[in-house]
Structure 1
Amino acid sequence: MHEDFLKENDPHSCLKKNKEMFCDSFKDVFNQRDQSQKKAEEFTKQCLKPAVENFVYSKVGPDILHEMRKQSQFIARVYSQYDILLDLLSNHNFSEYVRYIRSYEVYVKKWILDQTVKHLSKDSKMFELVDQHLDSSISSIKAAIHKATKKTSTDLKTFINNFCQELGDTLVISQDALGDFMMLNKANQEQFAHWFTEFVNKMVKALKQEFKKRDIQSILNHLDVKPQNELFTQVIGCGKQCPFCAVACVSGGGNHSVHEAPLHRPQGLNGYRRINTQKLVTNICSSSVVSDRQFICDATKGEMIFYKRYKEIFSDWNIPADGSYEASDYWKYVMATFNEEFAKEHSAKPADIPTTWKDITRLQAQQSLKDSFNMN
């Protein structure tokens, strides 16, 4: 950290970085030439433009969040979950199921990001939001220039300080860039204000073109507010997964101490197997926790534990104990369809799939999904 500070503030590095600008300014001062036009251009490019870009990035993030919350899949958690599982079923891609089951939060945030890019690509929606804030910032800049010219300024430094004061917190101009700009200047304030306004107009036109050339993903990467993170927090809430079947907690956001999910899925999807045969299991957690079966995992440190005592290991989970519960036809279909693939993924043997599971069609799996989320 100390070395980074010295490198950033090293006079020799600063001089080298701004050598050309300092040289030109020195020549102007030595030859007593007015620097108004040149200084106005320098200030606009080096100080103002980065501040305007940062302003846009700070404002567009919340706007995108507001825009996405109006879309049907982000009104409530149930709609997001339904759409994600429907996409998985439609894509029929085993690798996607693995990513969803193993890394639920990562997968869902990527899905949210993809949905955001897809929506913002329609009708140039992203650039409408960008232009709105570009125009807003330019209005503030021009108003600040006008007010600064009304004040008495003995030199350019005073004028710029007045300008920055009028801007207030609207735009944050880098003090480093401002310090470099203030060195060796000889400019007429009225002429500077005139050229400043001219270059501001050129800057906003250039920025609008630059933003339109940037892809939406790169713009999202620069935002202070990351839509995928905020939408996950606001809509999905909790990303904790059941230690047995990896189903996600449905308790939403907030500081809940106990995680739960009303519908669990076959544990074999998450790699659980019978110890003696190494075959993936088709049991769901609700029936396991009322059985005499045992489990072993990293959390038990090699010790066999009865499912009935799962809370001794996973005290933050509440699994509904009911032997009559079954997996939904959706997950029965997924496990039956990809049984061999799941076994290979988890270095296990394929599960003994019930015959009735093998008869479930994709259309029936889709209907099961609608029933589970009350989408009929």
Structure 2
Amino acid sequence: IEDFFQCFQISCQGATSITTFVVFLCDKIEPALSRAVFERTARDIAEDMKNKFPDFKSNRANLEVCILRYLAEQENFEYFKQYLTSPKQFFQSYIERRVKSHCLDGSSRLRMFLESSLESLYGNILSAVSLSTQIVKDKKDREDKISLWLDEFCGELAEVINLPRSELKGIEHQEVTDIEFLSSAMAKSLIDLRDRLIKELADADMSSFSRQPHTILAEHFSGCWQQCPFCGAVCTNTMQNHDGDHQLVFHRPQALTGFKWYGTDHFVIDICSSSVASDCSFRFHDYQPWTPYRTYRNAGPPVSTWRILPDSSMQAYWKWFVSHFRTQLEALYSQKFQGKGEIPYAWHRITKQEALSELERC
């Protein structure tokens, strides 16, 4: 009877140690798992957007075409103004708008993304429990089985969940000898943990992410965001701090940045790449000297950091835009499309569809 009670006492102590161990460990796992769910979901959403939407399947030039198509379809001058003055911010807001529409369109897509991530990570944890148990249970000569089990467990999860081994020092000296019982207790506790997180995820929204999916997606389209000093078009180099000059394929009418002919309130509708082949001169401020467009680099930064090749071709899109939003542009800059800035009759005949068709071909 004495031996029975002694064994019973040892068994109770072991069960208590395992319960203490499991509760402590799961309390550490739960917030780490929750963070990992949102981190993985953010990446999965960004990848899903790249796979499913033409806007995000290619490079930034392709995305810009999609944005210009969107702007033309909306025909909202305020949107155009935001795009022209703050292109990087507009790109980011456009991506954010598309991501939110995709995830919050009433189809519970965000919840499905989150639950999928949770199930995947939950499976990773169960596998780590099983593998750690298999490795440790046969090491009968080791007295530090729990410490070894934790080493294996954290090592298995290192690439998917941030669960620092150093935070588990408090339980590595628990008197646990029945490793298989420990594994069973962990599995049961993890089921309860998963069920709690599923309930929490039901109320999640885009603000729940510490790193937003649209931010991850926008990083795919990073690059140089310097704007041409004359027309405001964005440098097309894909490197943010690239070597060499800024450059782009198509410049725009200088009226888009408010350029006017000296001594008048008449817009300049020429593009920079045709101006650099002309006999005209420019200056940005009254206190600056005049600089011939042909030697524009002599004006110093920022124009000296640009490579603008002579080219008279102008995209039909911007001809359509200037014609369509003539009144709004005149009000924005308090200038007129008159004199040398008179809009050619041919520009008025360009339809939106013709402008978009040429844009996509280019």
Q: Note if 1:273 corresponds to 2:255.
A: no
Q: Taking structure 2 as the reference length, what is the TM-score of the superposition?
A: 0.76
Counterparts of 1:186 and 1:289, CA distance in 2: 82
Q: Note if 1:210 corresponds to 2:200.
A: yes
Counterparts of 2:280 and 2:46, CA distance in 1: 46
Equivalent position to 1:317, from 283, 306, 309: 306
Q: Taking structure 1 as the reference length, what is the TM-score of the superposition?
A: 0.73
Show the counterpart of 1:133. Answer: 117
Amino acid aligned to 1:208: I
Alignment partner of 1:273: what SS? coil
Show the counterpart of 2:6. Answer: none
Return the offset for 1:103: 1.4
Return the offset for 1:85: 0.8
Alignment partner of 1:63: what SS? helix
Equivalent position to 1:80, from 46, 52, 63: 63
Does the CA contact (< 8 Å) of 2:103 and 2:110 recur in 1?
yes
Show the counterpart of 1:287. Answer: 274
Show the counterpart of 1:231. Answer: 220
Alignment partner of 1:115: what SS? helix
For residues 1-376 of structure 1, the aligned pairs below 5 Å read 34=16, 36-37=18-19, 39-45=21-27, 47-70=28-51, 71-77=53-59, 78-121=61-104, 124-150=108-134, 151=136, 159-174=149-164, 177-178=167-168, 182=171, 193-215=183-205, 217-218=206-207, 221-222=210-211, 226-233=215-222, 237-253=223-239, 255=242, 257-297=244-284, 302-312=288-298, 313=300, 314-322=303-311, 325=312, 327-346=314-333, 348-352=334-338, 354=342, 356=344, 360=348, 364-374=351-361
Select the structure with the greater relative contact order (CA < 8 A; seq sep ≥ 6).
1
Counterparts of 2:275 and 2:329, CA distance in 1: 20
Show the counterpart of 1:6. Answer: none
Return the offset for 1:101: 0.9
Return the offset for 1:93: 1.6
Alignment partner of 2:23: what SS? helix
Task: Could you tell me which runs of 5 or more consecutive residues in structure 1 were left unpaired when the two chains were aligned.
Answer: 1-31
CA-based RMSD of the aligned residues comes to 3.6
Amino acid aligned to 1:88: L
Show the counterpart of 2:9. Answer: none
Counterparts of 1:214 and 1:317, CA distance in 2: 46
Which stretch of structure 1 is more off in the superposition, 165-174 or 152-161?
Answer: 152-161
Identity of aligned residues (%): 22
Amino acid aligned to 1:59: R
CA change 1:365–1:221 in 2 (3 A) is farther
Return the offset for 1:243: 1.4
Number of residue pairs matched? Answer: 333
Alignment partner of 1:272: what SS? coil
Return the offset for 1:100: 0.7
Counterparts of 2:347 and 2:162, CA distance in 1: 64
Show the counterpart of 1:3. Answer: none
Which stretch of structure 1 is more off in the superposition, 237-246 or 169-178?
Answer: 169-178
Does the CA contact (< 8 Å) of 1:44 and 1:203 recur in 2?
yes
CA change 1:301–1:201 in 2 (3 A) is farther
Does the CA contact (< 8 Å) of 2:24 and 2:171 recur in 1?
no
Task: Could you tell me which runs of 5 or more consecutive residues in structure 2 were left unpaired when the two chains were aligned.
Answer: 1-12, 137-141
